[in-house]
Structure 1
């Protein structure tokens, strides 16, 4: 088990990011929390303000790790927002925001630190995607599109950087208890309500997901699906496609009914 790694975690102040920070620290690693918000609780990790949409902030993160650590070993691109909505309800502004943060934020992180990883002949990129990157339910087109993009990017880079000694892992959890629901800013209220309920009802905690992610990192896995419910969904899509399609269409009907009911009450 490798320890004393130099680790940067975007979105590390709360949710899964904070749980991953704690897990790395427990291993004896040095950790930099790179987030727009300072950590909610005191931590042994260092903190640097970073907006993943800002090229200047990424340049500052590179400068910080170079000055204080002489480089980086693990980049965790975890920062992200929730989004959702039917294609004719969501605005283009919503699409542009989630693409800029959830996909291009990851791209910026990789572009910032890959040259250093290649120069030192080692490194590990961990990109937080989602189960939504592997299965694609209705009402979430912007979110599924960008998370599928993160999975695709991660697999591509895994092959591209293999000869340089750089590992890449995509993390694809299902719903778990987190503050992600608070970031939903969608014109499609029905989808937002359903997503919030699924997060609230999930039996999984961020700490449980982080523990499974750490196992995946240890195993050098290309894709980590850390919870049983998510693994079952992937299995159903692959092996029980007719049933899977039926469930997704039923989900779409539920969204439609909720929306029409809200409009009727209005």
Structure 2
């Protein structure tokens, strides 16, 4: 069995790779950076913000055997006041978080490299369910993945037996989350990426349409749907009002 994980060198992606390897998958990790830890996953370097790099990576991926499980996990962010974030940062977020995974997925499907009966996961964000002041471009890019997945899910399942899962993780205990969190945020309240990876892979293998790892994520999503204005106000108070600097990946 073969698996592909984008952004598999650190954080949630690294945990996904480790668990897939333990499950007996041959794993390909597509990432700009070398893995933080020693891993037997096959590494393909790609800066997902570069159209040329994505096209070259797609050529490399389509030269491999087909994949039985694919997770488009890679993501970057920029936090702060929207108007103070550099235009180039907004463009890079859209390229990495939305354009690259959609292009890679479409290219792999066209080449027949996502096997019939495979599982495909798109890592979106809980911001799909509520406003996210302070990270609007991130929220928009991650929402694009959720919409794309919704559009292809039924067609791919009917024609190819491929099941698509959209993943909505809450805050995780990663370096990425720490960089973008307000000063004084309690990292201990965040879920460990290894635990999130276990729950996400369980849902993907079961073919679930949505994966919200952890009770807190499910509660947040529910509240975002029934009281969107209240949740957006809460996000503003809890995050946006405490951001005193601009941080971009």
Q: Give the TM-score range, shorter chain.
A: 0.7 to 0.9
Shift in alpha-carbon separation, 1:98–1:62, aligned structure 2, 3 A: closer
Q: How does 1:71-90 map to 2 (within 5 A)?
A: 71-90=66-85
Q: Which one has a bigger Cα radius of gyration? A: 1
Aligned to 1:36: 32
1:227 aligns with one of 207, 214, 223: 214
Query: Distance in 2 between the 1:208 and 1:32 partners?
Result: 21
Map of 1:148 onto structure 2: 143
Query: 1:213 aligned to 179, 200, 207, which one?
Result: 200
Please identify, of 58-67 and 165-174, the stretch whose mean Cα deviation from structure 2 is larger: 58-67
Question: 2:195 matched to 1:200?
Answer: no
CA apart distance, 1:21: 0.4
Which structure has the higher relative contact order (CA within 8 Å, separation 6+)? Answer: 2
For 1:112 and 1:32, locate their aligned partners in 2 and report how far apart those are by CA, in whole Å. 16
Q: How does 1:93-242 map to 2 (within 5 A)?
A: 93-117=88-112, 120-162=115-157, 163-181=159-177, 192-194=180-182, 197-198=184-185, 200-239=187-226, 241=227
Which structure is higher in helix share?
A: 1
Q: TM-score, normalised by structure 1?
A: 0.80
Check conservation: 2:165, 2:209, Cα contact below 8 A.
yes
CA distance change for structure 1 residues 255 and 217 in 2, over 3 Å: closer, same or farther? closer
The answer to whether the 8 Å contact 1:103/1:147 transfers is yes
State the match for 1:187 in structure 2.
Answer: none
The structural deviation recorded for 1:236 is 1.3
The answer to whether the 8 A contact 1:73-1:117 is kept is no
**Structure 1: runs of 5+ lacking an equivalent:** 185-191
**Higher relative strand content:** 2
Instruction: Count residues in correspondence.
Output: 244
> Residues of 1 paired with 2:138 and 2:29: CA distance?
24
Provide the TM-score with structure 2 as the length reference. 0.85
Distance in 1, Cα, partners of 2:240 & 2:69: 43
Alpha carbons of structure 1 residues 116 and 172: separation in structure 2 relative to 1, 3 Å? same
